[in-house]
Amino acid sequence: MNRKAIGFFSLLLAFGIAIPAVAEEEPVDVGDEAPDFVLIKKSREVKQDINLLEFAEDQPVVLFFYPSDFTPGCTLEMQTLQEKKEEFDELGVEIFGVSMNDERSHERFCDQLELEFPLIADTDLSIAAAYGVKRTRGPMSYAARATFLVYVDGTIAWLNRDFNADPRAGHYDDLIDAIKELDSWDEEDEGEGDDEAQSGEF
């Protein structure tokens, strides 16, 4: 999407102009394997591309899909995530924003809001489509505001396809509660392993 289209789209979001949005792909669900993609691109600091499922083996990952940089709702969402980043860090979770904007736009957005987490440039909306959150509204396509928690086994542990950027809606708290519940998953897995060891023949 070119800059004029993004600018026009931003005005629609800002003024709440209603144009029906159309979903284009089947959505993934809790328990499904998370669609894989290049999460971190090769750079001077990174020797090779790192895919989501490879990265998530070491810690859970949260993907925050949002429509566009610099719009009011998306600005509020990113500011709130930054405020809560320390809490995510303490829980051992990495967070990433995902939108249709290019890397240059993301750099300016990060600088303006002083964000300390990465924003992924999904310029062709292929990632949004894979997660079933690509939307088309008139001549414009974008990622719906949605959030996915990817567990270390590569499956989707929690999701919200209608994530509300306003903290008063409680969706950030719902996500944090879901992350805390992952600890009980680990304990159950360890317990099953202990049972199998005790019942095995030596």
Distance CA 40, CA 124 (A): 17
The b/e string for 12-32 (b: 16+ C-beta within 10 A; e otherwise) is bbeeeeeeeeeeeeeebeeee
Distance CA 110, CA 2 (A): 20
Tokens 């750099």 locate to: 107
Given the residues 28, 52, 61, 74, the one annotated as active site: 74
Give ∠ CA 129-104-44 in degrees, rounded to 5: 95
Q: Which two tokens stand for residue 30?
A: 């809790």
Q: Which two tokens stand for residue 173?
A: 């708290």
Task: Answer yes or no: 110 catalytic.
Answer: no
The set of catalytic residues is 74
